Chains A and B, each alone.
Chain A
Amino acid sequence: MSTNTATSVSTGCFVSKGKYKRANEINYLPDEDDKFIKHRLKHYAKQWDELSVQIDVLRSDLNAQIFDDLVAFILSCHKDRHDIHRLPITEIPTAVLVTGVNTPDHGVMFSNMNYIIKAKVTPFVARLLPKDCLRISSLINSIYNQLTNTLINPEDIDLDDSFIDESIDVDNTVSLKKSVRRKRTVSMSTLSKWYSEKCRTYVDDQSPRKKAKTFASPRKKTLDLKSVDETEKQDSKPHIVIMIEDIENMNASVLHDFISLCSSYLSTLPIVLVLGIATAITAIHQILSSSTSSLMCMEKFHAPPASQYLTHLLDKLIMTPSIPFKLGPKVLNFLLDNFLYHDFSIVNFIQGFKLCMLEHFLRNPLSELCCPVEDVDAIASKLTQAEIEHFRRHPSFMRYVEGTPGPVQAKTVSDCAAVKIRLAQEVKNLHSFHKVFFPTLSFLHCLGQNLPKFPLGKHLRELYSTCLSETIQESEGYKQAFFFLRLMCFDELCELLGSCLKTIESQTSEKTLLRLNEDVNKFRYRLKHLDDEIEESVPGEAEIKILPQRAKLHELKEKLQSMSSSRKRSPYERLREEILSYLDNHFKCSLVSPMSLSLHEVLYFNELAAVKEQIRPSPRYAIQTALTEPGKLLSCPCCQCGSDSILSSMPDLCIVYKLHLECGTLVNLYDWLQAFVMIISSNNGPENQKKSKSKGPTVEQRARFIRAVSELQFLGFIKGTQRKTDHVTRLTW
């Protein structure tokens, strides 16, 4: 822009290195006059950190079994390869890992696996993604780079601990080496040469180095945990594990070549393949020919299904009193639907959960108090006058105040200290309610688990979501479940009560639950000693009258019905009735819908509208609303109108869009242009209109029209057609 650049002889583009801007979360906060948002951000960060740690633990627990199996498999491979007496069977040991269709989750799983195999089995692990493997040469290159880096890396880390300056040098040399490598052709023979050389050194200094490592850095202990017997490792060379993440998306011919290469180099390279398959094992045969698949010796592993993972996640993280933040019924159902109906992806579910949590802390001032129960008092006492004022303006707090009785109401409006105490009390009430609520819920779930047609839902999550959205006693499923329970026979009921008790056995801190436990135990005792029950004297017997001589038919029917209902019940039936009515009462007390509790907004996030667009975007709907009602989007006063009318003040694109909605499949461009010109010239007054009509559209109008039409084409609403000249096809309906 300055004169200096203008005088330059050659024109060119100069790169000026700008400052790298690190995104700062403070800048993204809505700049309302909410000064306390930073507090809440801190709360959020703390809670999310705890939660994410728990999620990681859960994930590794869930996959522990399959990883152990895999590691055992990899260790057991290539055992008999030194048996010279026989012809070698040249089969590549292959673990086929059926991962399920939720592709976004696989990345995490494979990186965990990579980590575990490196720690427990061998340092030589390469992980291939379909994008690396467009050609066989690039595939081998990628393997080579990953494998050669494995042995450089540990030293890097070691250096990192002591000399930071030197590590930079090492990095440089590594990158230099890489660039030299790249010029050369890397083939499998290069790899095998490298391997044999590395092997010699690796086996030599395997044991001392390892010991040194464990002493030097105790934080790496987890890596060495459960590692293989050192002696065993020294005997055999370390395996090379090659993981291919997504077989379906690999180029089939490249994969074919790679496998045949592997099998031909198997005598020098102890390769173990791990193939990830998203669909089913038959996919292998669709991709590979039998000549190739016979080169492998496959063993199948099934990753736990995503739905099981979800159940775990819900049990441990959502349906638990230990985490203060809770999802309301609308949001929870939305997230669950998204998971079950759309993608089966846990990663997306967790992201959605995180977004909800963020929204909650961002929008709701009351979320200041959304914290573990131990901290409630401390935080409540620290609330300032201004913050309480801020609370008072929030609708949910107002609702709460209105619900309270008169004198208390007056106090909450005026007295700050009283408000603090009341708030703390209410939140603590919520927490203690949760402590009873969840075990009771699982008790009820256990009760209804084996009933025909699952009136209470197959999963605990279904029961939970009905509980959230309505009072459980009034729901259809609950009534049906109790109807079935009333028909239950003796043995089943005994067994059922026993298994139900197990769900609440561990919870001994809550009084309500202890009482429930005791009472149910008493009932069980009585069931077992049913003979000792005192016979109930039935007074009804005397009352049975002889029917009048000439009774009408319906009278007779009534009579018989009343007789059958009042027939003598067995002691078991009476006891069953007693048990069930007891349980019903108990559920009535402790399974209240949390949404009906006062100030539940502190912990519950139920504003679906705030997160729906982000979690399940619908771009086409958004574009269409923007085009039909531009006034809302642009918030300009002149375009405010209903969705049908067309105003000349609207943007050209909107006018063109609205006009084309009136046409059929094919749109005549000339008619379209005429209609467009009509509309944009309509506000110019009658004289102008006449003028333009006689002359036809001006150049400017035509240009505007063409521009709008091409924008519409860019948005994907129309496209050109060969069928008729000067026509375009509509693509949407």
Chain B
Amino acid sequence: METIESSQQQVEEYTLGRRVLCRQAQIKTLMSLFGQRYHMTPGSLFVYGHTGTGKSLVIQSLLLYLKLPHIVMNCVECSSPRFLFEHIFNNMPKGNGVSNTNSANTDDEYTDCEDMTSFIRQLVKAVTDNGLRNETLYIVLDKAERLRDTNVHLLPALLRLQELSELNVCTILISEIVWEKFRSGTGLCEPYCLHFPDYTRQELNEIMCLDAPASCDKELYALYVNIVLSVFHMVCRDLRELRHIAKLNYPYFIEPIQKGDADASQARKLWRNIEPHLKKALNSVYLREVSSLQWELMQQAEFDQSESDISKSAASRSHMELPYYSKFLLIAAYLASYNPMKYDRRFFAKNSGRISKRTKLIKKNVRTSNHLLGPKLFPIDRLMAIFYSIVEGNVMPSAQIFIQISSLVSLHLLCQVGGEDKIAAPKYKCMVTLDFIRSVARTVQFDIMKYLYDFL
């Protein structure tokens, strides 16, 4: 009886009050590493694992659960070491013995810190001031891989912080990449590495069941999650994405039950009902372009139409309106990017002459598709020459035309490539796809396929 109770208590402890699931092994390791409040902890910990495996969640909830003094820092912000140092000082937790009275006027308490030496000196002072001498202070650095890009000496020093400051300090690095990728300079002190493995399907199921809305039966929701996982587990294991999908499609699942068409026990019927929705959602995994409301509207519209319009909706996603001459400029840029220069005369000059049979034959054998090779550079002169030969009517070379080129560049439809001479003879590359340019050409009644060397 007692053993059961104690194991119950242990489970309670290792799930941090049932808030963190499926990470009991890791929590157990961490707890044993941390020990009691006044114990010395290893100087540095390195926690790694894929995104969405609960690294930050476990560390942060554990520190909060055990009420340990800690500072959390997201290293994305840390563009210079100064940010890191000052963040640590300005978020220094208060020890038990120190009263919390003067926390309000933070303006006066702001600490400046420029370099590592003064950081360590000030750290000792701050820790003593805040009454943390007898406890372990945890400094959590999330997204630690960013630290590699800053000062070379920062990371080794942070790993040896305990040694350098002679304080009971533990640096916890959280990263998505393995420790081996951090070894660049010298003087790195090997941290204790802790791996967070990916969740298995059962674990995913268990975690996702936490999302069950209050109105829904737990078992029914488990069934739903199981269905979702059976469709999506093949393509996507990101917990965040899966939860997003589950949330989006839940209304469809629950609909027949609420209407009274089906019973909670009729799993097969429910499955048949939800399957087409999930198949649709499979097309837009990771896109995140719509919120749940708009998703519903879109689904409705698609069900109203025939099923064959999927390609059309994909095209409308990338549809944009351009001024008339911009369209021609873009087409000219595309032609310049994908046609070999020596064939320009053939496409655009009036009397191009016929190609002899021999060259035709040779070409057939040798030519590799330019579309496989990707866009090529072209100078602005060539672009303008092609533009003037394809556009109808007489266009004055006004400043407006050139403005359009630069606005196409700013829209990422063209891309300016640095030559030696960016002002006198700029060079560009066309960045759009064949499908896109075809739809653009169609709007101006220009048969682009006739002008593309690859499709002759």
Contacts and interface: CB of A to CB of B under 8 A. Distances in A.
Given A283-B412, A286-B412, A89 B243 contact: yes
Contact of A298 (B80, B214, B288, B321): B288
A293 interface: yes
B87 A187 contact: yes
B286 A278 contact: no
Nearest to A719: B424
A280 B317 contact: yes
A385 B392 CA distance: 53
B373 interface: no
Contacts, number: 163
Interface in B235-287: 238, 240-241, 243-244, 247, 286-287
Contact of A89 (B247, B290, B291): B247
Contact of B290 (A86, A248, A298, A342): A298
B86 interface: yes
B76 A185 contact: no
Interface in A270-301: 278-286, 290-291, 293-294, 296-300
Q: Which bucket holds chain A's interface residue count?
A: 35 or more
A231 B74 CA distance: 35
Contact of A103 (B243, B410, B423): B410
B1 interface: no
B289 interface: yes
A343 to B, nearest CB: 6
Given A89-B244, A343-B404, A621-B396, A305 B321 contact: yes
B182 interface: no
A716 interface: yes
B145 interface: no
B212 to A, nearest CB: 8
Contacts of B412: 248, 279, 283, 286
Contacts of A87: 207, 210-211
Interface string B5-21: 00000000000000000
A300 B106 contact: no
B244 A300 contact: no
B323 A299 contact: no
Nearest to B412: A248
Interface in A14-52: none
A419 B398 CA distance: 45
Contact of A261 (B76, B317, B321, B398): B76
Contact of A136 (B51, B79, B90): B79
Contacts of B66: none
A84 to B, nearest CB: 10
B244 A136 contact: no
B320 interface: yes
A291 B288 CA distance: 11
Given A85-B214, A299-B293, A616 B288 contact: no
A63 interface: no
Contact of A285 (B51, B244, B287, B396): B287
A91 interface: yes
Interface string A242-260: 0000101100000001001
A627 to B, nearest CB: 16
B407 A282 contact: no
A264 B140 CA distance: 14
Nearest to A722: B420
A255 to B, nearest CB: 12
B189 to A, nearest CB: 27
A200 to B, nearest CB: 10
Contact of A279 (B74, B106, B244, B413): B413
B231 interface: no
B321 A187 contact: no
Contacts of B101: none
Interface string B366-404: 000000000000000100000000000000111111011
Contact of B324 (A184, A190, A341, A619): A341
Interface string A78-91: 00000001110111
Contacts of A188: 74, 77
B294 A257 contact: no
Given A185-B82, A264-B74, A617-B399, A280 B318 contact: yes
A343 B289 contact: no
Contacts of A707: none
Most A-side CB within 10 Å, residue of B77, B238, B287: B77
B344 to A, nearest CB: 15
Interface in A322-345: 338-344
B453 interface: no
Contacts of A704: none
A646 B191 CA distance: 82
Contact of B288 (A86, A296, A618): A296
B25 interface: no
Nearest to A261: B76
Contact of A291 (B51, B90, B247): B51
B411 interface: yes
Contacts of B214: 85
A465 interface: no
Given A305-B321, A340-B324, A343-B323, A300 B51 contact: no
A86 B79 CA distance: 34
Contact of A294 (B241, B320, B423): B241
Contacts of A226: none
A613 B80 CA distance: 51
B53 to A, nearest CB: 13
Given A136-B76, A343-B404, A298 B318 contact: no
Given A248-B411, A616-B398, A193 B290 contact: no
A439 interface: no
A68 to B, nearest CB: 15
B421 A91 contact: no
B325 interface: yes
Contacts of A618: 396-399
B322 A101 contact: yes
Interface string B410-440: 1111000000010111000000000000000
A731 interface: yes
Contacts of B413: 279
Contacts of A294: 238, 240-241, 244, 286, 288
B110 A184 contact: yes
Contacts of B86: 184-185, 187
Contacts of B244: 89, 91, 294, 297
B352 interface: no
B288 A300 contact: no
Contacts of A246: 410
A86 B397 contact: no
A361 to B, nearest CB: 26
Given A101-B407, A300-B290, A344-B322, 13 more contacts: A86-B210, A89-B244, A101-B411, A187-B87, A189-B87, A249-B410, A278-B410, A290-B286, A296-B288, A297-B288, A299-B294, A344-B321, A719-B425
A-B residue pairs, 7 tightest by C-beta = A299-B291, A618-B398, A341-B324, A342-B400, A282-B318, A290-B286, A257-B76
Interface of A: 85-87, 89-91, 93, 96, 100-101, 103, 135-137, 140, 184-185, 187-190, 193, 246, 248-249, 257, 260-261, 264-265, 278-286, 290-291, 293-294, 296-300, 305-307, 338-344, 616-621, 716, 719, 731, 733
Interface of B: 51, 74, 76-77, 79-80, 82-83, 86-87, 90-91, 106, 110, 112, 142-143, 207, 210-211, 214, 238, 240-241, 243-244, 247, 286-291, 293-294, 317-326, 381, 396-401, 403-404, 407, 410-413, 421, 423-425
8 contacts: A137-B79, A184-B86, A257-B76, A296-B288, A298-B290, A300-B289, A339-B323, A716-B423
